[in-house]
Amino acid sequence: MINFVTSNKGKHIEAQAILGDLVQKDIGYVEIQADTLEEVALYGMKEVAARLQGPVMLEDAGLFVEALQGFPGVYSAYVQKTIGNAGILRLMEGQENRLAYFKSVVAFAEPGLGTVMFSGEVHGQIGFEPRGKKGFGYDPIFYVGDESLAEMDLEKKNQISHRAGSMRALKKWLDSR
């Protein structure tokens, strides 16, 4: 059993579909302001590994929009809370280049082992309007092909998503031990 530190039920559901036996721990941790998702995850892992016993993991993700020079990137959660999808769509008004990608970094630690990290990415574009009711966060405005992530069922999303990529990399590593 792995303790998955997240307040996001959607993340937990997606991760559990890949990894199986996860226990969601909504205990919060300090998310530093840093240049990379890896730095944020590593700093957070030091805190949560000291507070929880046994295997523990956390995941940090970001939306990187080419026309916005990578914004919101490491600030994606804050930007989602403050201006949301509507704000991103406003920032994208008049932009022809709508290329974007999601990146996910999973940090995992257990007693006697240093932190290991795995990442995944999915490339797509920012749509012109939100579509779909599934998923969470930026999913309604992030399109892969003609479909937003919020229009995909969990099985399809978990075949292509950034989070699925990082979680599958962790699972492969765990299974190989």
CATH fold group of domain 2-175? Maf protein (3.90.950)
Catalytic annotation present for 26:
no
Of 60, 139, 146, 153, the catalytic one is: 60
If you average pLDDT over residues 122-147, what whole number do you get?
96
If you average pLDDT over residues 127-141, what whole number do you get?
95
**Mean pLDDT estimate for the chain:** 95
Q: Is the peptide bond before 72 cis (omega within 30 degrees of 0)?
A: yes
If you average pLDDT over residues 67-92, what whole number do you get?
96
Beta strands at 2-5 and 56-65: parallel, antiparallel or unpaired: parallel
Confidence check: pLDDT of 86 > 90: yes
Q: Give CA–CA dist 33/30, Å, rounded.
A: 10
If you average pLDDT over residues 21-35, what whole number do you get?
91
Q: What is residue 147's predicted lDDT score, i.e. its pLDDT?
A: 96
Q: What is residue 120's predicted lDDT score, i.e. its pLDDT?
A: 97
Provide the pLDDT confidence category of residue 67 given band limits of 50, 70 and 90.
very high
Q: What is residue 27's predicted lDDT score, i.e. its pLDDT?
A: 94
Domain ranges of the chain: 2-175
Q: What is residue 81's predicted lDDT score, i.e. its pLDDT?
A: 95
